[in-house]
């Protein structure tokens, strides 16, 4: 009686071994590191490595290890002082072609990484990092929509050869000025046929015949919602380019976005990443005026002077044919003719119509692609970092229109496949639909995170030791068996958090502490049931069997109801509540296994099949 078949012992041994192996990476800690991300135009590979090594060597900064990847480099250091000094030196040496960011890199051994064993992610409160609360300028998003409608209305009226005196934006509507009431009526009919969702209203001011064009309430709500969602997507893609582990980017309210970047210690670098959004504009080249005269200051009306990446200057028409907002898909690839990198672009319906109309009238004429990027430049003023925004506009391609096209076409002239990939990624997510403003900023230093870890670890240890002592004193040898199971339970929780790459926060540690106390509940029920069976005169072997068998339904009911509560907390909670729910739910699952199967296996090995007169319980 009370003996497991060999496969059960083997199963428990395998699970425990796997748990120990996948929990091990959490013991190795993290190295202070500097991460270098290659921007457009920057060199990478061996050339960058040599440059970095020589720069750090000249500055007498020791390096622990350098790891390279596609477009990225991670430099590990022995301490934070070397890390901070290296970041300053590299920023000055490498310039704007690279993003230099402070980070913390796991120091997991290679043999553990080879089997996919990684440490669990630590949240902002444990690892340190930066927190931003950003406000989306919804008024600018609506103004941007009105500008698009203004351009579209001009095209419609001009195409119908209808005389109008101008279109301007006033508050949150457009005012179209006509020569006569008859022209206004005709224009009103044309606009209504094309855009049925717009609200039109006749306004007379003296001799002016005005038409007020307003957005509907539904469209304003849709513009606000889209601006928020598009900004979240764009910010997430930008943060992913840095390789931040487990960033939190989520909506707060109807116009704000929360951004948490665990492990990032450089606030200025984080701001630069969040502001690094890009888009394209397609413009006609002004071939009627002299470029050299424009360079001397005589820029003709309706045109602007731009510089291309190869240093040449062009005059471009101010009227934009298509913008990045009208791009619905973009994929990077290679030009079949030249072999150079390209981005295949797909436009939405309005953009396709505009491009089709333009190319029909301009076959044989040049068209330019303007790359626009908003950069944040950090300068040290009086020992403090000051961030300023700078808009970079440059021509990446000037090509002659060889045929008529609309919805799909290719953009070439890019520097590298990586730039093509990044541009396609940005275009798929779109540019920022509306400007964002940082309204709250917090930096949680790694020392504060380390203090939180120490306090959390201390609370787990204290709770664990108190439970161990109580169980050993009250239940004797059986209590020690429960203590072994409790240790197994903690190992399995850490292993599961690491395997799932879940994020551990302070509330998550609270869930683990609660699990430590709850994990022995099942053993208390089992051991008390065994005592009751012994008092009723049953043999020790029969009492052990009955104790586990009869307490199982009660244990299952108690744990299942708690698990349901944990699932509800995870489903409807946010942030810290989710972290608590994850560790609580995992702890319940692992404790059911260790408290029932784990302790039963140990007791079966120790007492199963033996003639016993009494139990040390």
- pLDDT for residue 96: 65
Looking at domain 139-216, its CATH architecture is 2-Layer Sandwich (3.30)
pLDDT recorded at residue 17? 93
- Tokens read off for 536: 């009723």
Whether the domain at 6-25+446-607 and the domain at 30-107 fall into the same CATH topology:
no
DSSP annotation of 35 reads: E
C-alpha dihedral, 297 to 301 to 302 to 308, nearest 10°: -10
Biggest alpha carbon–alpha carbon distance for the chain? 113
What local confidence, expressed as pLDDT, does residue 165 receive?
82
Domain layout of the chain by residue ranges: 6-25+446-607, 30-107, 139-216, 220-443
384-400/341-347 β-pairing? unpaired
Q: Give me the architecture of the 30-107 domain, per CATH.
A: 2-Layer Sandwich (3.30)
Question: CA–CA separation, 426 vs 424, rounded Å?
Answer: 5
Strands (E), 114-224: 121-122, 129-136, 164-170, 173-178, 199-205, 208-214
Chain-centre distance of CA 514, in angstroms? 30
Class in CATH terms, 6-25+446-607? mainly alpha
- Residue 390: the pLDDT is 67
Residue 575 confidence (pLDDT) = 65
* pLDDT recorded at residue 159: 82
* Number of residues that make up the chain: 617
The pLDDT assigned to 263 comes to 67
Helix (H, G, I), strand (E, B) or coil at 23: helix
| Backbone region of residue 575 per phi and psi (left: phi > 0; alpha: psi in -120 to 50; beta: other values) | left
- Kind of pairing between the strands at 303-307 and 278-285: unpaired
CA dist., res. 259 & res. 443, Å (int): 12
Which segments within 143-277 are labelled E, that is strand?
Answer: 164-170, 173-178, 199-205, 208-214, 248-252, 256-262
The answer to whether the pTM exceeds 0.75 is no
Q: Which residues of the chain have pLDDT under 50?
A: none
CA 436 to chain centroid: 17
Q: Of 1.10.1060.10, 3.30.365.10, 3.40.190.10, 3.30.1360.200, which CATH number belongs to 220-443?
A: 3.30.1360.200
The dihedral built from the CA positions of residue 239, 240, 244 and 246, taken in this order, carries a sign that is positive
């Amino acid at each position: 009686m009370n003996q497991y078949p060999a496969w059960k012992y083997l199963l428990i041994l395998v699970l425990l071994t796997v748990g120990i192996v996948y929990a091990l990476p959490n013991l190795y800690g993290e190295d202070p590191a500097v991460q270098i991300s290659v921007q457009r135009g920057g060199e990478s590979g061996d050339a960058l490595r040599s440059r970095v090594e020589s720069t750090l060597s000249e500055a007498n900064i020791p390096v622990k290890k350098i790891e390279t990847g596609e477009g990225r480099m991670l430099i590990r250091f022995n301490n934070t002082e070397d890390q901070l000094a290296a970041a300053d030196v590299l920023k000055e040496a490498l310039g704007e072609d690279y993003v230099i960011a402070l980070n913390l890199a796991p120091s997991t051994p290679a043999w553990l990484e080879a089997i996919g064993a990684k440490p669990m992610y630590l949240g902002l409160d444990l690892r340190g990092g930066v927190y931003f609360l950003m406000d989306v300028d919804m008024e600018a998003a609506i103004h941007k929509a009105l500008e698009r409608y203004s351009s579209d209305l001009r095209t419609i009226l001009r195409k119908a050869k209808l005389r109008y005196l101008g279109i301007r934006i006033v508050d949150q509507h457009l005012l179209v000025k006509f020569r006569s009431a008859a022209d206004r009526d005709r224009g009103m009919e044309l606009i209504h046929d094309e855009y049925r969702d717009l609200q039109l209203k006749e306004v007379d001011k003296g001799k002016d015949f005005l038409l007020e064009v307003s957005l509907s309430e539904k469209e304003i709500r849709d513009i606000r919602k889209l601006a928020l969602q598009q900004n979240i997507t764009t910010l997430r893609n930008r943060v992913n380019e840095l390789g931040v582990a487990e960033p939190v980017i989520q909506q707060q309210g109807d116009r704000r976005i929360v951004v948490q970047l665990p492990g990032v210690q450089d606030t200025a670098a984080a701001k630069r990443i969040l502001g690094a959004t890009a888009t394209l504009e397609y413009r006609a080249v002004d071939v009627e005026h002299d470029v050299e005269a424009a360079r001397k200051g005589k820029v003709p009306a309706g045109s602007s002077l731009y510089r291309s990446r190869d240093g040449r200057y062009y005059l471009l028409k101010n009227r934009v044919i298509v913008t990045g907002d009208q791009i619905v898909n973009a994929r990077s690839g290679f030009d079949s003719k030249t072999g150079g990198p390209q981005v295949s672009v797909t436009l939405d319906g309005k953009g396709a119509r505009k491009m089709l109309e333009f190319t029909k009238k301009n076959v044989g004429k040049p068209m330019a692609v303007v790359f626009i990027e908003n950069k944040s430049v950090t300068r040290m003023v009086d020992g403090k970092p000051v961030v300023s925004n700078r808009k970079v506009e440059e021509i990446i391609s000037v090509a002659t229109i060889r045929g008529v096209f609309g919805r799909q076409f290719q953009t070439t002239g890019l520097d590298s496949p990586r730039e093509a990939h990044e541009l396609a990624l940005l275009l798929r997510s779109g540019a920022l639909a509306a400007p964002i403003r940082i309204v709250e900023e917090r930096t949680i230093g790694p020392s504060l995170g380390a203090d939180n870890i120490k306090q959390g670890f201390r609370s787990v240890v204290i709770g664990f030791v108190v439970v161990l002592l109580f169980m050993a004193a009250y239940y004797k040898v059986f209590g020690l068996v429960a203590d072994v199971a409790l240790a197994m339970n903690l190992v399995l929780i850490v292993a599961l958090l690491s395997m799932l790459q879940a994020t551990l926060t302070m509330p998550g540690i609270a869930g683990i502490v609660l699990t430590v106390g709850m994990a022995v509940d099942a053993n208390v029920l089992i051991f008390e049931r065994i005592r009751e069976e012994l008092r009723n005169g049953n043999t020790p072997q029969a009492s052990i069997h009955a104790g586990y068998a009869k307490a199982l339904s009660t244990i299952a009911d108690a744990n299942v109801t708690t698990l349901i509560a944990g699932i509800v907390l995870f489903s409807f909670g946010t942030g810290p509540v989710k972290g608590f729910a994850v560790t609580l739910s995992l702890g319940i699952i692992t404790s059911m296994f260790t408290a029932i199967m784990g302790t039963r296996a140990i007791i079966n090995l120790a007492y199963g099949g033996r003639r016993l007169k009494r139990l040390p319980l």
